Amino acid sequence: MLTRTSTQSLTGQLADRLAERIRTRLLPPGARLPSVRECARQQGVSPYTVVAAYDQLLAQGLVEARRQRGFYVRDAAPAPEGRPANAAPMVAQMMASRVPADASSLIRSMFHRPSDKPQPGMGVFPPDWMSSTFMPTAVRRMTNTAALQELSLQYGEPSGDAALRRSLSNKLVGINVPAAPDQIVTTVGATHALDIVSRTLLRAGDPVMVEEPGWALEFARLEALGMRILPVPRRADGPDLEVMAQYCALHSPKLFVSVSVLHNPTGYSLTPGSAHRVLKLANEHDFHIVEDDTYSHLAPEHATRLSALDGLQRTIYVSGFAKILAPNWRIGFLAASPELKERLLETKLLATLTTPTLFERALSWCIDQGQLRRHADRIRIRLDGARSRAVKLAMAHGCTFASEPAGLFGWVDTGVDTDALTQRMLDQGYLLAPGSLFHARRPPSTMMRINFATSQDAAFWKVFSKVRAEL
C-alpha cells in the first residue's frame, strides 16, 4: 500500500512496486499496464503521479509506450550465454548484497542492546525468562572427569551426538514427523541448518520462493549466496498458492522456504488444505521445501506441518533451541530423507566437520528427563499473559493487528512509516522491527513486528505514541 508518510515519494513507491512485479514476471512481457486514470484510481493518487512513475519505468527500460495504446512491459533482453537471466555472477552478487541497515541493527542488538529498556523489536525472550536450574545441572553432568575425557578428546560423530539424535527422533514422533536418528544432522543453530540446505541444493542464480513478509536475515543470506528471491505473500491459511503456481510456471524454482507454524512475523499457522496444495505443487514442479519450525516449542503438537504430511520426501525439517532454551549453546538440527541427508552431511563436513558433543549430550539429557518440556510449558503460560497485556497496550495507543495475535510476535499496523518511526525510537533507546525489514525489496510500510514478551512496558507505549504523533 502506498503511504504518504514515507520518506520516499508516491511516484517512487509506485514505480518501485511496478518494477518489482515486472522483474519477477508477475507482470509478464507484453502485459499492458493500467491506464493512467485507472492506475490513479486504484492507488488513490493523482494522474500526474502515475505519469511520473511510468516515466521512471520507461527510463529503466522496463516498459514501452505504444502510441494511443498505453504502456506495455518490454521483453527482457536475452541473458549472456551460460548465465541465467537476471542473475549476477556469484562473487559480484555477494559483493553487491548487503544486510539492510536496520536489519543489521536488529541482528547486532542480539549481542549489544541499545539500552537497558525492554526492546519490542527483539527476536528472543528476555534473559530472565530463559533462566533455569536444570541447564547448569546438565552441563555439570557432562563435565565430570570421565565424561569430559570421552566427549572432548576426539572429534564427535559427523551427524551429531547419537544420544541427541535419538532424543530428537523421539521428540519428532510427538509432532508426527517420521525421522529416524540416522536421518537427523545436528547443526550450529537453525540458521546453520538453513545454510546447509541452501548450499547443498542451490547454485548461484537459482530461483527460491520465500514467504513475505519473512525474516530479513533469510533474504540477505540467500542474496549473499547469489540466489534469485521470489517473494510469496503469506496469508492466514498459508502461502499465496496462485503466486506460487505462477512462479513455478515461469521460473521453475528449486526451493520453497516456509515457516509453517507461528510464522514470523504474522503468527499465522498453516491449514491442512493449504499444506496439501503446497505439496502437490512441489511434486508437480519438482522443488524441495525447507520447513523452518523454529517456534515449535511454543506451538500445539497438532499444528499442521508439511514435513509430517510429506514424510520427509520433498521436505527438509529444520528447528533449533535458541528461542526456548539457550541461545549461546547454538544447537539446531535438520531432518531429511536418507538419500538427501547424506548430501546435507557432506556440506556440514566441509564447513564445520562436526558440532560440539558436550552441549549436544547435555541437551539430550534435558529432553529425556522432561526438563525441556516442563520449561516450555512454563514459558507458554507466561507468554499467554504477556501477549494479552501487550495487545491491550498496543490497541490502547492506536495500533491495530493485521493478524490474530499468536505465539511470540505480533504484526502491528501503526498508521505511520515505520522506517522513520524506528529511527526516532532509537534516539529514545528503543529498538523496533519495522515492516519493510520483512520484505525482500523493502517497500515503505506502516507495519512493525513486536515481541509480546518485551512489549508489556507502558512507558514504551507512551513514548511510542508521542513519537508517532510527531511524524
For 269-325, give the secondary structure using H, E and C.
Answer: CCCHHHHHHHHHHHHHHCCEEEEECCCHHHCCCCCCCHHHHHCCCCEEEEEECCCCC
Whole-Å CA distances, 69 to 33, 34, 65, 74, 429: 10, 11, 8, 14, 54
Domain boundaries for CATH 3.40.640.10 within the chain: 134-369
Pairing of strands 228-233, 207-212: parallel
Whole-Å CA distances, 346 to 83, 221, 342, 459: 27, 20, 6, 51
- Give the pLDDT confidence score for residue 446 in this predicted structure: 96
Peptide bond into 213 cis (omega under 30): yes
Mean pLDDT rounded to a whole number for the chain: 89
- Give the pLDDT confidence score for residue 365 in this predicted structure: 95
Whole-Å CA distances, 119 to 115, 235, 411: 8, 27, 15
Backbone φ and ψ of 230, nearest 5° = -115, 100
- Give the pLDDT confidence score for residue 164 in this predicted structure: 97
- Give the pLDDT confidence score for residue 31 in this predicted structure: 83
Q: Which of 104-118, 191-205, 425-439 has the highest mean pLDDT?
A: 191-205
Sign of CA dihedral 220, 282, 79, 63: negative
Q: Is the pLDDT of residue 87 over 50?
A: no
Rounded CA separation 232/238 (Å): 10
SS3 444: coil
Backbone φ and ψ of 402, nearest 5° = -80, -15
- Give the pLDDT confidence score for residue 145 in this predicted structure: 66
Domain boundaries for CATH 1.10.10.10 within the chain: 10-73
Q: How confident is the model at residue 105 (pLDDT cuts 50, 70, 90)?
A: low
Q: Is the pLDDT of residue 79 over 60?
A: no
Rounded CA separation 19/23 (Å): 6
- Model confidence over 386-440: pLDDT tens digits? 999 999 999 999 999 999 999 999 999 999 999 889 878 877 889 899 998 899 9
- Give the pLDDT confidence score for residue 152 in this predicted structure: 66
Q: Is the pLDDT of residue 97 over 60?
A: no
The pTM of the full predicted model, rounded to 2 decimals, is 0.81
Rounded CA separation 249/357 (Å): 45
CA triple 278-281-284, angle to 5 deg: 155
Q: Which whole number is the average pLDDT over 77-98?
A: 36
Q: Which whole number is the average pLDDT over 365-373?
A: 96
SS3 119: coil
Residues ≥6 apart with Cβ < 8 Å to 133: none
- Give the pLDDT confidence score for residue 14 in this predicted structure: 93
Class of domain 134-369 as given by CATH: alpha beta
The C-alpha torsion from 232 through 123 and 392 to 262, rounded to 10°, is: 40
**Spatial CA neighbour of 307 closest among 116, 186, 173:** 173
List the beta bridge partners of residue 451.
Answer: 409
Residue with cell 492506536: 398
Rounded CA separation 422/444 (Å): 12
Instruction: Give buried/exposed letters for 149-174 (b at 16+ CB in 10 A, else e).
Output: eebeeeebeebbbbbbbbbbbebbee
Q: Which whole number is the average pLDDT over 20-26?
A: 78
- Model confidence over 254-263: pLDDT tens digits? 999 999 999 9
Q: Is the pLDDT of residue 123 over 50?
A: yes
- According to CATH, the superfamily of the domain at 100-130+374-470 is Aspartate Aminotransferase, domain 1 (3.90.1150.10)
Q: Is the pLDDT of residue 83 over 80?
A: no
Residue with cell 509480546: 452
Q: Provide the residue type at 267 as one letter.
A: G
Q: Is the pLDDT of residue 111 over 70?
A: no
Q: How confident is the model at residue 204 (pLDDT cuts 50, 70, 90)?
A: very high
Rounded CA separation 222/194 (Å): 10
Whole-Å CA distances, 327 to 271, 323, 331: 30, 7, 8
Domain boundaries for CATH 3.90.1150.10 within the chain: 100-130+374-470
- Give the pLDDT confidence score for residue 273 in this predicted structure: 97
Beta-sheet strand order (sheet of 288-292): 184-187, 332-335, 315-320, 288-292, 255-258, 207-212, 228-233
- Give the pLDDT confidence score for residue 301 in this predicted structure: 80
Q: Is the pLDDT of residue 91 over 70?
A: no
Pairing of strands 447-451, 433-434: antiparallel
Q: How confident is the model at residue 112 (pLDDT cuts 50, 70, 90)?
A: low
**Spatial CA neighbour of 260 closest among 244, 248, 245, 271:** 271
Contact 94, 222 (CB under 8 A): no
10-73, CATH topology level: Arc Repressor Mutant, subunit A (1.10.10)
Enclosing H/E stretch for 412:
strand 409-413
- Give the pLDDT confidence score for residue 115 in this predicted structure: 78
Rounded CA separation 308/317 (Å): 9
Q: Which of 117-126, 145-154, 407-416 has the highest mean pLDDT?
A: 407-416
Least confident residue range of 16-25, 156-165, 384-393, 462-471: 16-25
The grid coordinates listed for 189 are: 543453530
- Give the pLDDT confidence score for residue 6 in this predicted structure: 76
Rounded CA separation 164/362 (Å): 9
**Spatial CA neighbour of 452 closest among 394, 396, 372, 398:** 394
Rounded CA separation 121/25 (Å): 33
Least confident residue range of 75-89, 184-198, 351-365: 75-89
Q: How confident is the model at residue 106 (pLDDT cuts 50, 70, 90)?
A: low
Q: Which whole number is the average pLDDT over 376-391?
A: 97
